[in-house]
Amino acid sequence: MSLLMVGCNHRAAGVEVREQLAFNGSQVGEALDRWQQTLPETELVLISTCNRVELYAATAGGEALGPDELAAAMLDYHGVARDSVNGQLTKLADRAVIAHLFHVAASLDSMVVGEPQILAQVKEAYQAAHELGTAGPVLHELFQTALHAARRVHNETDLHRHRVSIPSVAIADFASRVFERFDDKRVLVLGAGEMAEETLRYLKDAGARNIHVVNRNEQRGRELAEAWAGAYHPWNDLWEQLIAADLVIGATAAAEPVVGAAQFAERVAPRRHQRPLFMLDLAVPRDFDPAVGEEIGVYLYSLDDLQVACERNRRERAKALPAAEKILENEVDRYLAAAHHRAAAPVITGLRRNMEAPKQAELTRLFNKLPDLDDAARTEIERFADRLVNKLLHPPMESLRDASRDGPPHGLLDALRRLFHLDD
């Protein structure tokens, strides 16, 4: 079998190309089904995220399918012209495919190195292909090994322990200092932009369930609230919502603070009775007057606080990269060694079978000529025959093992097949 990968990612392709080639959930199944009809002997898995679109294929060695044909299948599905993606498609084969997938699953190829979301996305992509029947035994082994390698990186290095995106640091490194749990906390979001949405994603992962959105644009606010199973409140309910909240995210596009210190002290603080309030200001300019953080029970953090932590975490992550790379290199070598061994297994089985038949025939002939042999003598002769066969098989077996360390020993396998008539 040979492995191929064709696709685009944030490193080599602009967002315009990635958008043209992206597949939504229903399109993934439709495309895999279509390609299965046109490439019936090819195993396929399709990964499509906001930062990458990659089609993995395993083909029989004798097939004519190459990276250009695989790229054509992807482009033709979307009706994208070849010249519009010149130089922005990545094409890999065999070992390079294995190494790339392992780096993708372990988040070493992500825009934010070490962020954990990609592992779940790789797993979901494989599961979708498996359910559709387009991922056969070769891609099954490849993707399962990739997931195993990613888990080793996660468990054996500090790469994932140092978060580097603003929202992840805000929740995991700052909010967790104030609250031990989030499932019983009331979350209030001011604004409905990308930063607010990404922070909600981390809060949801941390267990937050009680989510409320206040936004000047009612339609956008309702859309964000509904997307996270929360409740929308009009802008004039801001002060009442601040009184009820446990955790507040400021992410508006206002030109000046929407929560002033004097207003907070007069309208909010007396009715909170010093209950802990975590305030996360992600807006530029700021949504919360810095003096609000001086109130008793208020824990206010700004983008400046978070960016310092992010930079520190980036430096710590960089220290973990060599160890992660070493783990992945080791896993690639182990995968290839196992694959090469599997390729040689039928020849090894054939060699043993071809020698076993004449051995048994000669033993039968000998025992017929020597009918007076006792059981002990017969056993010793059988052991001699077994040892002789093993010694005769040892040189070709050793040659196969040695050759498999550097790659599939196709030439040696073909020679052994011809010499010992193993074609059947």
Alpha-carbon span 307 to 164, nearest angstrom: 9
Class of domain 166-310: alpha beta
Assign 46 a pLDDT band (cuts: 50, 70, 90).
very high
Say which range, 17-21, 206-210, 308-312, 414-418, has the weakest mean pLDDT.
414-418
- Which phi and psi (to 5°) does residue 390 adopt? -60, -40
What does the pLDDT read at residue 217? Answer: 92
Of the pLDDT bands very low, low, confident and very high (cuts 50, 70, 90), residue 178 is: confident
- With 70 as the cut, is the pLDDT of residue 62 above it? no
Q: How far apart are CA 307 and CA 298, in angstroms?
A: 20
**85: which 2 tokens?**
């993606």
Show contacts of 178-183: CB within 8 Å, 24+ apart: 178/276, 178/278, 178/299, 179/246, 179/247, 179/276, 179/278, 181/207, 182/206, 182/207, 182/208, 182/247, 183/207, 183/208, 183/209
Domain chopping of the chain, boundaries: 2-160, 166-310, 344-419
User: What is the distance between the alpha carbons of residues 240 and 375, in angstroms, rounded to a whole number?
Assistant: 96
Strands 186-190 and 247-250: parallel
Please indicate whether residue 296 or residue 158 has the higher confidence score (pLDDT): 296
Mean predicted confidence (pLDDT) in 234-263: 94
Q: Does domain 2-160 have CATH number 3.30.460.30?
A: yes
Q: Over range 76-95, report the average pLDDT.
A: 84
Residues whose CB falls within 8 Å of the CB of residue 287, separated by 6 or more in sequence, listed in order: 190, 191, 250, 251, 252, 254, 257, 258, 259, 281
Longest dimension (CA), the chain: 113
Alpha helices in 370-406 (DSSP H): 375-404
**DSSP state string for 7-67:** EEETTTS-HHHHHHH---HHHHHHHHHHHHHHSTT-EEEEEE-SSEEEEEEEE-TT----H
- Is 235's pLDDT higher than 70? yes
101-105, 139-143, 252-256, 308-312: lowest mean pLDDT where? Answer: 308-312
CA distance 248 to 187: 6
Q: Is the pLDDT of residue 201 over 60?
A: yes
Calculate the CA dihedral of residues 130, 136, 137, 140 and round it to 10 degrees.
-40
How many C-beta atoms lie closer than 10 Å to residue 8's C-beta? 23
Phi, psi of 188 (to 5 degrees): -120, 130
The predicted pLDDT at position 343 comes to 64
If residue 188 lies in a helix (H) or strand (E), which one and from where to where? strand 186-190
* Entry field: residues in the chain: 424
Catalytic pick among 14, 16, 38, 50:
50
Report CA 173 to chain centroid distance, whole Å. Answer: 24
Active site (annotated) includes residue 8: no
